[in-house]
A and B are shown apart, each in its own frame.
Chain A
Amino acid sequence: MAASVVEMSAPRNRGVIRESQGSAASAEIHAEMTGIKRIYPATGGGPGVHALGPVDLKLARGEFYSVVGPSGCGKSTLLDVLAGLSAPTEGHILFEGREVAGKVPPGVGVVFQEDAAFPWLTVEDNIAFGLRRAGTDAAEVERRVAYAIGFMGLKDFRKAYPSQLSGGMRQRVCIARTLVMQPRLILLDEPFGALDAQTRLLMGDELLKLWRETGATVMLITHALDEAAMLSDRIGVMSARPGRLIADIRTDWPRDRDSRIAAEESFGQITSQLWRLLRDESVKAAGMAGAKG
């Protein structure tokens, strides 16, 4: 299992991103972003903030792709734009061949870092929420919710309210709520950011299992390099703001994997490779933050 690493040549000024040679291009393209830029308009006479881009990205159907980058680099903006939650200033997004514009396309599921479980609903009702609003018939709702509850290990908590659950359990509820909608593209915005290390590892395994069983395409935003290295088929490394993809790393892990992969020799290589790429960017990002604050 050799990790192949393709770094982009001098992308910093020109922002040109090349696809890594081979596989992604040959597989079916599921989602595609071209020339994406996000510039927040100026407020109160100051200059606008160039948050993101230009970014070009192709996601192959069924792949597990992660994005790592220093804090404040626009990772979440990238996800919001791909999901159709916020419009890019420039560029185009295609999901399953259709333009994404101003609306989240059906078939896309998003799990956020923030606690998004509705506190006024029980675990069960939270999970069924989207299906019920979509008018799915009761028997089907029941079936899918029961499956998701079993899958996410929430059986003992189906009647509980989110306030009675730990952060990890609440995030499971949110993942289950996404899962029952049977999304073909699942976007996760630092979903385990608020969890402790052991819970993160376990949740990572759950996520891999979910990815394998649903066959969905997954894009995971994370700041944890080991998490990206452990879970992904392919990892995009983002620069400090304005965020651009400066490297593209393939892991070549088998599809049937779990957290024990961390013991592999190439896991260490990938993680240190990621850190080598990110160190300068993180310093830059930290410097920027320091100057700002």
Chain B
Amino acid sequence: MRQFIDSLIFAAVLVGLWQGLHWFAGDIAIASPGVTAERAWQMVGTASFWAHFRETFSALGYALAIAVLGGMTIGLLLGLHRLSGEVAEPILVSLYSLPKITLYPLILLIFGLGMSAKVAFGAIHGIIPIAIFTMGAVKTIAPVYFKTARVLQLTRRQLVTTVVIPAAIPELVSGLRVGFSLTLLGVLIGEMFASQRGLGYLVMNAIGTLDVPTMMAVVLMLALVAVAISATLLYLDRRLHHRAA
């Protein structure tokens, strides 16, 4: 309850700041919270908005599936095999810090315009942090768990499925949180350029036509969805870490 009230106060402060900025910058730069909410409400009533919405979130879904499966597989393998992990870690970290927007022309050349490019661009944003988190999670598993597994005569496969993965899950959820937000970022950037559909396209289009309220409304709705998903993952994360402690 206390936490809920805190969150409400925080949201109210944000809206207040937003209103302040609106007064400061004026209608051409920032629409007021009221106008934005009104436009958002209007858009939610139209079918075309939901088509764009579906486009973005199905791209996000595919990208996330690729990033999670790929990232976790890479992370598990590298975490379990020490030498490969030591070799791969600096490479992964430098890839992580590489601004992936520079790869976008390449992605477009490979995948062409449309859904697959967006998915690919989202996935390359998410896969590396998820791989890094997974590898870290596996490497920090208490050595005594591995010893116990050996004493209990576990096969390699049983070790991975019944010890390594459950032991790593709290950390994996942390990785998933970071991976989720970066994948969403990737998908949206993908939609902003060379795309005719999706929420990213809507934002760019609104900027092009100087339709500030629409732009802000899309951003607001994206933010709400992202915050909701992130909060769910955070809740899960806390719960899992609490149990592990």
- Asked if A110 and B243 make an inter-chain contact with CB atoms under 8 angstroms apart, the answer reads no
A114–B144 touching, CB < 8 Å: yes
Per-residue 0/1 for A181-193: is the Cβ within 8 Å of any B Cβ (1 yes, 0 no)?
Answer: 1000000000000
**Given the interface contacts A161-B243, A163-B243, does A130 sit within 8 Å of B147 by beta carbon?**
no
B112: Cβ under 8 A from any A Cβ: no
- In-complex Cβ contact of A119 among B148, B152, B158, B243 (8 A): B243
Question: Given that A104-B153, A108-B151 are contacting pairs, would A120 and B243 also be in contact in the complex, using a CB cutoff of 8 Å?
Answer: yes
Residue A150 at the chain B interface, CB threshold 8 Å: no
Chain B interface, >50% SS class: helix
Q: Is A118 an interface residue (CB 8 A)?
A: yes
Q: Among B161-169, B175-183, B208-216, which stretch is in contact with chain A?
A: B161-169
Kindly state the separation between the CA atoms of A129 and B158 in the bound complex, as whole angstroms.
11
Q: Does B166 contact A120, Cβ atoms closer than 8 Å?
A: yes
User: Which residue among A106, A110, A114, A119 has the maximum number of chain B CB atoms within 10 Å of its CB?
Assistant: A119
The A-B contact count (CB < 8 A) is 59
Instruction: Count how many chain A residues have C-beta atoms less than 8 Å from C-beta atoms of the other chain.
Output: 25
B44 at the interface (CB under 8 A from A): no
B interface bracket (residues with beta carbon within 8 Å of A): 20 to 34
Name B144's contact: one of A109, A115, A120 (CB within 8 Å). A115
Query: Contacts A163-B243, A163-B244, A163-B245: A118 and B145 contacting too (C-beta < 8 A)?
Result: yes
A85 to B148, CA, bound (A): 10
Q: Enumerate A97-135 residues with CB–CB distance to B below 8 Å.
A: 103-104, 106, 108-110, 112, 114-116, 118-121, 129-130, 133-134
* Interface status of A52 (Cβ within 8 A of chain B): no
Knowing A116-B145, A118-B145 are in contact, say whether A106-B151 is a contact too (CB < 8 A). Answer: no
CB distance from A117 to the nearest CB of B (A): 9
A106 proximity list for chain B (CB < 8 A):
153
Report which of B154, B242, B245 forms a contact with A133, defined as CB distance below 8 A. B154
A83 CB within 8 Å of chain B: yes
Looking at the complex, which one of A104, A118, A178, A181 makes contact with B163 (CB distance below 8 Å)? A118
Which residue of B has the minimal Cβ distance to A121? Answer: B166
A178 to B148, CA, bound (A): 9
Tell me whether B150 and A104 are in contact (CB under 8 A).
yes
| B1 contacts the other chain (CB 8 A) | no
Residue contact A181 to B152, C-beta cutoff 8 Å: yes
B98 interface contact, C-beta 8 A: no
Given contacts A118-B145, A118-B167, A120-B167, contact A110 B244 (CB under 8 A): no
Q: Are B142 and A110 touching (Cβ within 8 A)?
A: no
Given the complex of chains A and B, what is the CA–CA distance between A109 and B167 in angstroms?
A: 22
In the assembled complex, the CB of B137 is this many whole angstroms from the nearest CB of chain A, namely: 13
Q: Are B167 and A134 in contact (CB under 8 A)?
A: no
Mark interface residues in A270-291 (1 if CB within 8 Å of B CB, else 0): 0000000000000000000000
Considering the complex, which residues of chain A in the window 245-261 have a beta carbon less than 8 Å from any beta carbon of chain B? none
Instruction: Tell me the complex Cα distance, A114–B166, Å.
Output: 18
A289 to B148, CA, bound (A): 29
B150's contact among A85, A134, A178, by CB below 8 Å, is which?
A85
Within the complex, the shortest CB–CB distance from B153 to chain A, in Å, comes to: 6
With beta carbons under 8 angstroms apart, the residue of A109, A114, A118 that contacts B151 is A109
| Distance between Cα atoms of A130 and B155 in the complex (Å) | 11
Taking a contact as CB atoms under 8 Å apart, the answer to whether A114 and B142 are in contact is yes
21 pairs of residues in contact across A and B, judged by CB atoms under 8 Å = A85-B151, A103-B150, A104-B153, A112-B144, A114-B144, A116-B142, A116-B148, A118-B145, A118-B167, A119-B243, A119-B244, A120-B167, A120-B243, A121-B166, A130-B153, A133-B158, A134-B152, A161-B243, A163-B243, A177-B152, A181-B152
The interface of chain A, by Cβ under 8 A from chain B, is: 83, 85, 103-104, 106, 108-110, 112, 114-116, 118-121, 129-130, 133-134, 161, 163, 177-178, 181
Q: List 8 tightest A-B contacts by C-beta distance, closest first.
A: A130-B152, A114-B144, A120-B166, A116-B144, A110-B151, A119-B244, A116-B148, A112-B144
